């Protein structure tokens, strides 16, 4: 689990602004500039104007006396929504307020974490900063491109650039201690959760079926009903000649009236409580691969193929343990971050400007 924040976004954002592009929010090692997001068509009716997202160095919030500007805010907005390049360099209008709110919360949180790391006296070894700097430089196509970025973002100061790297690594280091280390879930914990929540992993009795349906018009006349029955008989005759699920499906695609015809009649899994009574009774007696007789369900006629009858059961632990562990660790991560944010804000002075 990695917690790389502002510096990488800073690198790509500043360089991208200079080239009229939009940066994406990546981890410590990011994609080269040659792999930027493709530009999309402008959609004025849909997106926030570029001008509203162009930073001007205007103060937006003060955190314990430290002023953060719209440069930080806009950078984080584009980090949250890295697809702006596909929207003409804009953020969708209906998403922008939420993204801006999230971006504001994030830059405040990062600043509080950074200040807390400084209070604790955490330091980053010079060699680690140098390694990170070398990795960041690789993101640029040439030394000239890097110098252009350095000039536009740090007025040419390599010290300011290294300070920015140091800040990012300090944030990452503290979050490893306060969030990552507290979010690890052991396999024993995963197993315990699985055993204590059996209902979550249980599945009902289900049927994997394909159907061919003949559906007469609403308020059908006797003649139309007779025509539907004639078509159903013919469909049943053809269905009996099929030997495989594919053959049945191709017939369904050709003659069925229900919407599943575009999927070769395949309903995937249908739980017992969703099966019409007229179909459930024969389904319970059928073997895998069997085909039903012609069944009338209301005014409709149905033929179905039983591909698999699955009794009620429980998904084995081995099949869910990896994803379950990720889910549990994600929950613990969110809790740990929230707890850290709450603790840091209790004694902080945050002023929106």
Q: Is the pLDDT of residue 52 over 70?
A: no
| Rounded-to-integer distance, Cα 31 and Cα 88, Å | 21
Tokens of 301: 């006629």
Residue-averaged pLDDT of the chain: 85
Nearest to 88 by CA among 37, 24, 147: 37
Distance CA 30, CA 294 (A): 60
> Tell me, what's the pLDDT at 91?
84
Residue 51 is predicted with a pLDDT of 40
Which two tokens mark 118?
């400084």
Please tell me which residue, 39 or 70, carries the higher pLDDT value.
Answer: 70
Q: Where are the alpha helices (DSSP H) in the chain?
A: 6-18, 70-80, 96-119, 126-137, 143-154, 158-175, 187-196, 198-201, 222-240, 245-255, 277-283, 317-346
Domain coordinates in residue numbering, the chain = 6-181, 205-311
CATH class of the domain defined by 205-311: alpha beta
299-328: pLDDT as tens digits: 999 999 999 999 999 999 999 999 999 999
Q: Which tokens in the block code for residue 104?
A: 């504001």
Q: Encode pLDDT of 193-217 as tens digits.
A: 999 999 999 999 999 999 999 999 9
Above 90 in pLDDT, residue 345? yes
Which of 248, 253, 336 shows the shortest CA–CA distance to 292?
248
Select from 1.10.4030.10, 1.10.3720.10, 3.40.50.10470, 3.40.50.10190 the CATH code of 6-181.
Answer: 1.10.4030.10
Residue 53 binned pLDDT confidence (cut-offs 50, 70, 90): low
* Residue 257, CB-side half-sphere exposure with 13 Å CA sphere: 14
The tokens of 109 are what? 């949180």
Q: Is residue 5's pLDDT more than 60? A: no
| Sheet containing strand 266-271, strands side by side | 266-271, 206-214, 300-310, 295-297
Q: At 10, is the secondary structure helix, strand, or coil?
A: helix
């Amino acid at each position: 689990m990695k917690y790389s924040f502002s510096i990488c976004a800073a690198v790509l954002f500043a360089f991208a602004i200079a080239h009229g592009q939009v940066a994406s929010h990546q981890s410590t090692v990011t994609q080269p500039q040659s792999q930027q997001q493709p530009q999309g068509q402008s959609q004025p009716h849909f997106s926030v104007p570029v001008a509203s997202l162009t930073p001007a160095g205007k103060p937006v919030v003060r955190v314990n006396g430290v002023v953060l500007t719209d440069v930080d805010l806009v950078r984080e907005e584009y980090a949250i929504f890295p697809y702006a390049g596909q929207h003409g360099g804009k953020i969708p209008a209906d998403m922008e307020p939420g993204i801006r709110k999230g971006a504001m919360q994030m830059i405040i949180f990062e600043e509080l974490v950074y200040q807390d790391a400084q209070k604790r006296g955490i330091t980053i070894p010079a060699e680690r900063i140098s390694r990170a700097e070398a990795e960041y430089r690789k993101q640029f196509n040439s030394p000239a491109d890097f110098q252009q970025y350095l000039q536009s973002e740090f007025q040419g100061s390599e010290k300011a650039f290294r300070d920015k790297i140091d800040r990012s690594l300090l944030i990452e280091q503290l979050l490893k201690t306060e969030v990552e280390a507290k979010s690890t879930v052991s396999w024993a914990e995963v197993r315990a959760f699985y055993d204590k929540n059996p209902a979550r992993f249980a599945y009902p009795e289900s049927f994997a079926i394909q159907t061919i349906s003949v559906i007469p018009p609403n308020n059908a006349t006797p003649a139309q009903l007779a025509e539907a029955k004639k078509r159903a008989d013919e469909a049943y005759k053809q269905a009996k000649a099929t030997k495989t699920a594919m053959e049945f499906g191709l017939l369904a695609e050709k003659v069925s009236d229900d919407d599943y015809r575009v999927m070769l009649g395949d309903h995937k899994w249908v739980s017992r409580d969703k099966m019409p009574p007229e179909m459930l009774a024969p389904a319970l007696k059928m073997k895998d691969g069997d085909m039903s007789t012609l069944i009338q369900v209301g005014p409709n006629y149905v033929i179905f193929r039983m591909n698999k009858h699955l009794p009620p059961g429980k998904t084995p632990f081995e099949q869910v343990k990896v994803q379950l562990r990720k889910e549990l660790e994600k929950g613990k991560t969110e809790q740990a971050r929230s707890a850290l944010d709450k603790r840091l804000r209790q004694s902080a002075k945050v002023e929106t400007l």
